[in-house]
Amino acid sequence: MNREIKIMGSALGPRMVVNGREVDYFCGTSYYTLHGDPRVKEAACEATRRYGMGPATLMASPPLLEVVRRVVEFFGVESAQYIVSGYLGNMLLAQALSDEYDVVLVDAASHYSVFDGLHSTGKRVVPFQHLDVDSFSQQLRSNIQPSQAPLVMTDGVFPVTGAIAPLKDYVNVLARYEHWLLCVDDSHAVGVIGEKGQGSLEHWGIQGDNCYLAGTLSKAFGGLGGIIPGSQQLMCKISRNVKIPDGASPPSTAAAAASAMGLKILSEHPEMRRLLWKNVAYMRAGLRQLGIKVEESPIPIISLSSLPKVDLKWVQKRLEEEGLLVAYVPPLGYSDAPNKESLRIAIFSTHSQHQLDLLLDALGRLL
């Protein structure tokens, strides 16, 4: 994103120091602000004191093993892969499964990491229009023979707009193929949606050993690194077809310990998810009361665009002057950013009602 870099002056939180000044913070992706949680910070410090920065390849430190154990538990799967970044997760999945699909259908506004990952496989990639089931269906019909196996890739939740991909509709369309695969970049969905916080597949009630997700611990879970939860069989395919786990250093000990603690906290406190949904519902309802069209959705990303005669850059600056930080996204400024400017508001479980009211009041005056 063509963005102005701001400088942190404190640990991340709903109220924090940015550019030398305390602000109410409505940006980013740490939806429970676990990155600044004292338990997460202490876990990272303690692990570093004990194990240093990490194993420098070819060894597993206990915090790394702990992440895998907790991911297995959180997602109710047989096993998991933990790698240095979520960005690499889509590449890992696309390569691991490369023997099993012929052509890829991809939402045209999927994250950069999805396209980079697909590019590495050398397979034919056919984009369909963003979130458009008709375009998906038409591209599938025109490009894939009944005897071929399509792989479908998309973000489960899109990072700028917060749109949820209509995965159930895609699956219904795919039913006419004997073999198909679905891989979801669920970076913004894991820990947030689904009955148990397992992400967009759980949200849509989609199960099956042909449906996969790549997630991250760098957002809702307050840590760092990519995760691929799945079966033992998937792990075998990863070790057979993918070089990343052997060829790249694992996440640092501090990142692993922080991630394991984030997973533990979120597993033990499902009420945090309910609190997040409550804050999201409150903010969305408040915006609707201001006359702004905002969808009913559990996603803690609210995108404001299409406001006639409103200069959103100006609004973002005035909000910042009042100590309220939201993100300005220029047209096409990120993988799924609309072709017009927008404001991206991130809602946290830790925002107080007073903070949400302050933002609503300011938006009511400025929009």
| Chain residues in the site for ligand PLP (CB under 6 A) | 85-87, 111, 113, 155, 159, 185, 187-188, 216, 218, 226
Comparison of 34 and 363: residue with beta carbon closer to ligand PLP = 34
**Strand 324-325 versus strand 301-304 pairing type:** unpaired
Helix (H, G, I), strand (E, B) or coil at 54: coil
Q: In angstroms, rounded to a whole number, what is the distance separating the alpha carbons of residues 212 and 221?
A: 19
Write down the least CB distance from residue 318 to ligand PLP, Å: 27
E strands present in the chain: 15-18, 21-25, 79-83, 103-107, 124-128, 150-155, 181-185, 211-216, 226-230, 301-304, 324-325, 327-329, 342-346
Q: In angstroms, rounded to a whole number, what is the distance separating the alpha carbons of residues 77 and 91?
A: 21
Q: Among candidates 188, 190, 191, which has minimal Cα distance to 158? A: 188
Write down the least CB distance from residue 4 to ligand PLP, Å: 17
What are the backbone dihedrals phi and psi of residue 182, each rounded to the nearest 5 degrees, phi first?
Answer: -130, 125
Handedness of CA 349, 107, 194, 292 (dihedral sign): positive
Under 8 Å between Cβ of 162 and 141: no
Comparison of 85 and 267: residue with beta carbon closer to ligand PLP = 85
Write down the least CB distance from residue 9 to ligand PLP, Å: 22
Comparison of 222 and 286: residue with beta carbon closer to ligand PLP = 222
Comparison of 44 and 362: residue with beta carbon closer to ligand PLP = 44
Comparison of 81 and 355: residue with beta carbon closer to ligand PLP = 81
Write down the least CB distance from residue 285 to ligand PLP, Å: 26
**How is residue 251 annotated by DSSP?**
P
Comparison of 87 and 180: residue with beta carbon closer to ligand PLP = 87
Given its phi and psi angles, is residue 309 left (phi above 0), alpha (psi -120 to 50 degrees) or beta?
Answer: left
By beta-carbon distance, which residue lies closest to ligand PLP?
A: 86
Q: Among candidates 196, 241, 242, 203, which has minimal Cα distance to 88? A: 242
Comparison of 90 and 139: residue with beta carbon closer to ligand PLP = 90
Q: In angstroms, rounded to a whole number, what is the distance separating the alpha carbons of residues 333 and 118?
A: 22
**Strand 327-329 versus strand 324-325 pairing type:** unpaired
Write down the least CB distance from residue 51 to ligand PLP, Å: 22
Write down the least CB distance from residue 3 to ligand PLP, Å: 12
**How is residue 164 annotated by DSSP?**
B
Write down the least CB distance from residue 113 to ligand PLP, Å: 5
Write down the least CB distance from residue 325 to ligand PLP, Å: 18
Comparison of 82 and 277: residue with beta carbon closer to ligand PLP = 82
Comparison of 105 and 255: residue with beta carbon closer to ligand PLP = 255
Write down the least CB distance from residue 197 to ligand PLP, Å: 17
**How is residue 34 annotated by DSSP?**
G
